[in-house]
Structure 1
């Protein structure tokens, strides 16, 4: 990037987790104007990098320099529910002073508080309207708005400040479809420096660059996520070809080394036979034997070196191929015959007033959509039996399993293997290990304690425990399953669910993910549960 336009400069940055595990070691990075999508596997340090740029974390070594003011929207946003909306927006002092002046109070402190912001309320309402929050009064408290609205309020506060550098960490996680569209528009309109960490494909189609964080280093790709994936596909195909060439070279070098050994053995036999027959003077035979051994030895050493070099080239070629494996698991016992009743909701009323009457049959794949606060999670909790219905009847006709947003279904003190066996006590341990290998937990990994897993690993372990449970689940409930998952983990989840033969009921705002599942029916919860057109 051109130094004159660079707004974020990172030099020799080093940082480690509290347990001493290095995250960055001598990272150099420059980010200039435009919208940058920062992607990478879970646990690679994307959120940490944003916090280092924002000055919330201090590097162990190196420097972070930012030109201008920074605005940071963190992934896990916690706000005091008693604070008023105007306080969250950062306009409470100027607004109070403005009202005092309008009421006839000439105190100079009020004029100082207002400064140049005489139109602060008008600008604030315009910003709120831009984000679909025009219905929220400035005197309301945070406790009176939904979680998604809280995220948009914090974004509105940043937009009002007008920072030079805007850092967004998974901003769409808790947003409904309408709110996401508002955020997409705000990102598309941004003209400063913007860095967004996200797995949201639609959001990443609105960036100018993709920065791929992997193994503590950042690689740049110009364009959107689709263009990045196209370039990566070409690159990976070339890398896989190089692996095949390197493997063939290793095989050839092994053959030539064996031939070299055979030649050495043959020359040794001939020299020994000649020595025993004594057809030449002893000194000549000794010299001939020594020369043959030295020549053959050099030949063998040369081939051993070539083999080692070929192996090094193979290792280098393999390192360029990404190990973002897909989950592939056969789950025949989850199959549900067509038209068999799976779930019946008869006049069910849940907390917050949502009502539902419907029936799921056979291997339907049903998407549950609706605005934030409509009661989707509450309905799933009610179907799963974790909450009683306020009225009506829930009847589940097949074995059911539920994966909630909070991913708290596993015992953190136990290993992955022991957690799965607890849900499938009749399954042989070796069979469980074989199945866990298909969920990418190979070799000793099933013995790892759940409490030590990364977010993406914890998700895969939870999914494995549910899908391998006994009896096999023929109805699977998922609540916002792609929240906090990296793009690779979303692909893994999609491939795993492709093998699932039961009925799916998925609450999600992630449209690309839902479309990838092959949704057969769309339900919208907006007071009443109703059929919806495909989104």
Structure 2
């Protein structure tokens, strides 16, 4: 890390996707030393902001100024499965040169490749050990490790590079409890600028401040996430009081305007009667009439201005009260008869060594929680049950149709719009049915025509789930880490929908609170 204090500043930052979808317009933002939790609803632009800071995207206007080196852990870590671990860690060149020198090859290029990094292997092993990856050899390939271990390997590479500014995007996705604790320790010990996007409350309770990204602007709150929730609750209570006061004021202004109009109408009627009687000279009556009209106009304008101001105050007060839309999930009405065999696993041996001994049967509307450490084979088992992978031996027999929502959310074609993706999955659905379904998942109007490749992690989950649910209903769902990247409101809606589902469920997750909330009936633990 450099001696100059690290920082990053966004000045008049604007960005829009190629299809015209605007994300930021003139954003002003500065991150200083310490740990910042960047939060916001799915689609608010959190991941896009980190990509702009990391230089992976180019702003349409404005600039990003960074003091120091930047390291970025993206939300979706994609590696070539044939890549070796040392290459993924960024030490393959120095390591190869070091081995060549140890073998007696003293060419100058080897010393240049090593530089001052003579302990590169020891540092790599220490970084892997720090993150609980002591079992992962430097010569292994990434195809031999789990999704969660890939995330940790990417983090280990960043720890080895020692950047001044560390950007973490949903880093606890796919991590088991032990790995999460290791990540928390790394966050606690980080000495520079750290910006973390997460929906993990425990992780967010370890930051120094919260940056709440909403409608293209950031509101700052001192303290961790728990302090933010308390401050927000106080804000919202005050905002709701302001709304009630503004509503009362609006009703009063409407009443006063009505009373003023009635009073003016009575005066006008009196003037007409006096005019008809002719009790005063014509010139005097004309002067009275003009004065009355002028007074009536000013009086009416005053009350209308007060009413307009009251409406504006109410609109501003309502705007300050958060009423964020939540997804509306309606799972298919498919019921599995109690006792009916839904799935049979017989002496199943999976790739990478995991195994289900003897015979396992899933019956009726059971809810199975699939748990285990990273690398134990949860995703491999789900993909085998779904027919995407062949087992090494044994068999997985599905007795009813199923739908599988994978961890990597690769069910969408990035080059197509959300609506087109859904249409391909549900060819019998009408355009109205597709758009009505997408509206329930907050893709309303033109949002349904957004390209899938521009979606955030949480938006991608919503679009994938909408696609899955509009396809032909199935009495069995396989879900792999379904709460990854979901904002807290959407995760609560998903929990409620799964709680009411009458089909069979197999859910792989490290989120124990989520598993307990959906009424799990059996637990299947894999140990690799």
Give the structure-2-normalised TM-score: 0.83
1:151 aligns with 2:154: no
Whole-angstrom CA distance in 1 between matches of 2:166 and 2:460: 30
- What secondary structure sits across from 2:52 in the alignment? helix
Whole-angstrom CA distance in 2 between matches of 1:332 and 1:83: 41
- What secondary structure sits across from 1:287 in the alignment? helix
Q: Could you list the per-position Cα deviations for residues 393-427 of structure 1 after superposition, in whole angstroms to 9, with x for gaps in the alignment? A: 63546x754433455668966859986995997x9
Partner of 2:378: 376
- What secondary structure sits across from 2:211 in the alignment? strand
1:299 aligns with 2:306: no
Question: How many aligned positions are there?
Answer: 517
Partner of 1:214: 214
Q: Cα gap change, 1:45/1:414 in structure 2, threshold over 3 Å: closer, same or farther?
A: closer
Deviates more, 1:311-320 or 1:8-17: 8-17
Contact 1:477–1:506 under 8 Å retained in 2: yes
Partner of 2:37: 37
Per the TM alignment, residue 467 of structure 1 is displaced from its structure 2 partner at its CA by: 5.8
Whole-angstrom CA distance in 2 between matches of 1:392 and 1:84: 31
Partner of 1:483: 484
Contact 2:174–2:509 under 8 Å retained in 1: no
Q: Cα gap change, 1:277/1:366 in structure 2, threshold over 3 Å: closer, same or farther?
A: farther
Q: Could you list the per-position Cα deviations for residues 306-335 of structure 1 after superposition, in whole angstroms to 9, with x for gaps in the alignment? A: 111111111111211223234567879567
Partner of 1:118: 118
1:354 aligns with 2:364: no
- Note the 1:251-262 alignment, pairs <5 A: 251-262=251-262
Whole-angstrom CA distance in 1 between matches of 2:158 and 2:238: 43
Q: Could you list the per-position Cα deviations for residues 58-97 of structure 1 after superposition, in whole angstroms to 9, with x for gaps in the alignment? A: 3333332222222222223333444432233232333333
Contact 1:71–1:167 under 8 Å retained in 2: yes
Partner of 1:404: 406
Partner of 1:142: 142
Question: Which ranges of structure 2 fall in alignment gaps of 5 or more residues?
Answer: none
Contact 1:423–1:465 under 8 Å retained in 2: no
Deviates more, 1:410-419 or 1:505-514: 410-419
Whole-angstrom CA distance in 2 between matches of 1:332 and 1:144: 36
1:494 aligns with 2:499: no
Q: Could you list the per-position Cα deviations for residues 95-145 of structure 1 after superposition, in whole angstroms to 9, with x for gaps in the alignment? A: 333333333444444444333323222222111111122222223333443
Contact 1:263–1:296 under 8 Å retained in 2: no
Question: Which ranges of structure 1 fall in alignment gaps of 5 or more residues?
Answer: 528-535
1:182 aligns with 2:182: yes
Contact 2:435–2:448 under 8 Å retained in 1: no
Whole-angstrom CA distance in 2 between matches of 1:140 and 1:378: 18
1:287 aligns with 2:287: yes
Whole-angstrom CA distance in 2 between matches of 1:61 and 1:414: 27
Q: Cα gap change, 1:496/1:255 in structure 2, threshold over 3 Å: closer, same or farther?
A: farther
Q: Cα gap change, 1:313/1:280 in structure 2, threshold over 3 Å: closer, same or farther?
A: same
Give the structure-1-normalised TM-score: 0.83
Q: Could you list the per-position Cα deviations for residues 485-509 of structure 1 after superposition, in whole angstroms to 9, with x for gaps in the alignment? A: 3334323323433444554332122
Partner of 1:345: 344
Contact 2:73–2:154 under 8 Å retained in 1: yes
Per the TM alignment, residue 359 of structure 1 is displaced from its structure 2 partner at its CA by: 4.5
Partner of 2:324: 324
Whole-angstrom CA distance in 2 between matches of 1:37 and 1:159: 19
Whole-angstrom CA distance in 2 between matches of 1:58 and 1:424: 40
- What secondary structure sits across from 1:481 in the alignment? coil
- Note the 1:223-242 alignment, pairs <5 A: 223-242=223-242
- Note the 1:242-257 alignment, pairs <5 A: 242-257=242-257
Partner of 1:394: 397
Per the TM alignment, residue 26 of structure 1 is displaced from its structure 2 partner at its CA by: 2.3
Contact 1:424–1:470 under 8 Å retained in 2: no
Per the TM alignment, residue 305 of structure 1 is displaced from its structure 2 partner at its CA by: 0.9
Whole-angstrom CA distance in 1 between matches of 2:91 and 2:172: 25
Q: Could you list the per-position Cα deviations for residues 180-212 of structure 1 after superposition, in whole angstroms to 9, with x for gaps in the alignment? A: 332222222222211112223332232222211
Per the TM alignment, residue 470 of structure 1 is displaced from its structure 2 partner at its CA by: 7.4
Q: Cα gap change, 1:212/1:279 in structure 2, threshold over 3 Å: closer, same or farther?
A: same
Q: Cα gap change, 1:273/1:48 in structure 2, threshold over 3 Å: closer, same or farther?
A: same
Whole-angstrom CA distance in 2 between matches of 1:156 and 1:125: 10
